Amino acid sequence: MQRQTFAWGVILLFVLIGLLPIIVMVWNAFSGMDLQTLRSLFSQKEVYGSFVNSLLLSFVVALITTFSGMLLGVLFAKTDLATSRFFLSLLIVPLLIPPYIIALGWIDVIGVNSTFSSVLFGFGGTAWVLFSVYLPIPTVLTMVFLKQVAPDLEDAARLYTGDIGALRYISLPLIIPALVLSFLLVFILTFGEYSVANVLRYSVFPLESFVRFSAFYDFKAALMMALPMIVVAAGVLLVERVYLDKKLFKLKELERINIISLPKKYQIGFSIFVGLVILLIVVLPLLSLFLRITDFEVLLAAFAKAWMPLLHSFLYSFTGAALLTLFGFLSAYIIAYRVVPYWRFYDASIVFLLTLPATVLAIGLILLWNRPMLDVIYASALIVIFGYVGKYLAVAAKMSERKLLQIPPSMMEAAQISGANWFAVLRYILLPQSKKTLIAVFAVSFIFCFRESTITMLVYPPGYETLPVYIVTQMANGKPETIASLSAIIVLSIVVPFSILSRRRTA
């Protein structure tokens, strides 16, 4: 009984932080809605046109990214390519930083008034940048699930069809659910991302909603425009629940993994090709941005202006990551061991908030907490932290859940026979067994919080801005050298610690 009471307390806290803002927002949208206003709003070309743009952009980026990530994942996970670890570490960089940084780099590469600027500023450039940013997602998922395919199945197929045949007829068909998951993740992340489209002047639906809310103070229009985004997020969640819920196999450590040995000429050829791809999508835009920094004094001057937003970024990200690690582990415990009868609904709810565009969650937070008696939350950094926890709880919970499901039930049963209650099992068995996973959860949560700009842009109180938000505000009138220096600071602030942690983990 105590365990269920504790679980309901965790769920109630999640409802307060993440779900209640959406409920309040939907209630406000429907209570102030009339069909005439709704018809008038969505008959506007910029509104329905931006919605179509968002759907098309999301579909194209998700399709190309999933296919390309599958190819890279196969190459990195199933071959002995010597440079795979190095290439993967570079490929992940755009995912670690705010997406608009890559867009700024490409503006420096191509220029505003060059021959190719018409390609960059629009659908093509936006799709290319988002492809660069989200390519690591299907790549890593493909690698993870390929390494879960039973080697005995591959061995049997290799006797008749060889390595390529085993890959084609056994391994890849078995990871189709993972590829569908990659497609859905990239689709919904692209659909909710507007900072790249803002920089590259392409009209997308979340940007249109953001402008209506923050620039024109047209709250009714912003609320009504949030409803289609909720429908899209719910559709993605429905596909994930219906198609993927029982098809994604549990992750476990295998004793061996079949690796295809590449001849030397293929090692060289694949290394050159993948190296050129990464040079194009990662190194070139970032290097071009860094080269705009004329001297060290410009960098120091930028740091002198940005040290407080940078400090805010670290503090908020650390706090958010700590709460996500704790809250995610407890949520994973509730879901993995089905502590309450409605654990499926709780599981779906946290995933729903992840799929929901950040602008919708931010508007909900404002509507819920913007009250005189709640200034302790609305007028402080707490509202930013609440946004982080609500948005990214699913990431932390799913990582912890995978680990909990790998722990042998016999360990818990032995403890219970010895007289240990549920909290003792949680403290002395599940927590120690999950230590490495929790460190990884903290690191991933920190990165997601640090790079986040959409929620923070809408909800942060005066004087509480983070570095990603500060850079966005400087884009309007700031000098290119200053913006480049600020971009360099944010890239180094996250990439350097990530590189150090990766090296220590490898060692």
pLDDT tens sequence across 187-207 = 999 998 888 998 898 989 888
| H or E element, residue 190 | helix 176-192
Domain boundaries, the chain: 1-32+294-507, 48-203+249-291
Torsion of Cα atoms, 207 then 210 then 214 then 217, to 10°: 110
CA distance 360 to 357: 6
Distance of CA 93 to the CA centre of its chain: 13
CA distance 45 to 8: 46
| H or E element, residue 407 | none
Closest CA to 316 of 466, 443, 441, 440: 466
Contact 72, 139 (CB under 8 A): yes
pLDDT at 462: 87
Q: Domain 1-32+294-507 falls in which CATH fold?
A: MetI-like fold (1.10.3720)
pLDDT at 492: 87
- Burial class of residue 294 (count of CB atoms within 10 Å of its CB; 0-12, 13-18, 19+): exposed
* Each residue's pLDDT expressed in tens, for the chain with a length of 507 residues: 588 888 899 999 999 999 999 998 888 877 766 677 677 777 778 888 889 999 999 999 999 999 999 999 999 988 888 888 889 989 999 998 899 999 999 998 888 777 778 888 889 999 999 999 999 999 999 998 888 887 787 777 787 887 788 888 888 888 888 899 999 999 999 998 888 998 898 989 888 888 887 766 677 777 788 888 888 888 888 888 887 766 665 656 656 677 888 888 888 999 999 999 999 999 999 999 888 887 788 888 888 888 999 999 999 999 999 999 999 999 999 998 888 888 889 999 999 999 888 888 999 999 899 988 888 898 999 999 999 999 999 999 988 988 888 888 888 878 888 888 888 888 888 888 888 889 989 999 999 999 988 899 889 988 899 999 999 888 877 788 888 888 888 888 888 777 776 666 555
pLDDT at 5: 87
CA distance 174 to 66: 16
Closest CA to 388 of 463, 330, 472, 446: 446
Distance of CA 46 to the CA centre of its chain: 28
Backbone torsions φ then ψ of 341, nearest 5 degrees: -60, -30
Cβ neighbours of residue 254 under 8 Å, at least 6 residues apart?
A: 147, 148, 150, 151
pLDDT at 11: 93
Sign of CA dihedral 407, 413, 416, 418: negative
CA distance 464 to 316: 10
| H or E element, residue 352 | helix 343-355
CA distance 252 to 406: 6
Helical segments of 79-148, H only: 84-91, 93-96, 99-110, 117-120, 123-134, 136-146
Structure-token match 């809605």, residue found: 33
Q: What count of Cα atoms within 13 Å lies in the side-chain half-sphere of residue 324?
A: 35
Backbone torsions φ then ψ of 260, nearest 5 degrees: -85, 125
Contact 455, 362 (CB under 8 A): yes
Q: 48-203+249-291: same fold as 1-32+294-507?
A: yes
- Give the relative orientation of helices 45-78 and 219-239 as an angle to the nearest 10 degrees: 30
Structure-token match 């990884």, residue found: 440
Task: Domain 48-203+249-291: give its CATH code.
Answer: 1.10.3720.10
Contact 21, 364 (CB under 8 A): yes
Question: The tokens of 229 are what?
Answer: 């985004």
| H or E element, residue 403 | helix 382-406
- Biggest CA pair distance of the chain: 75
Work out the angle at residue 74's Cα, subtended by the Cα atoms of residues 160 and 171, and round it to the nearest 5 degrees: 40
Structure-token match 């009714």, residue found: 220
pLDDT at 247: 63
Alpha-carbon separation of residue 19 from 16, 216, 344, 407 (angstroms): 6, 27, 15, 30
Q: What count of Cα atoms within 13 Å lies in the side-chain half-sphere of residue 477?
A: 0
CA distance 185 to 191: 10
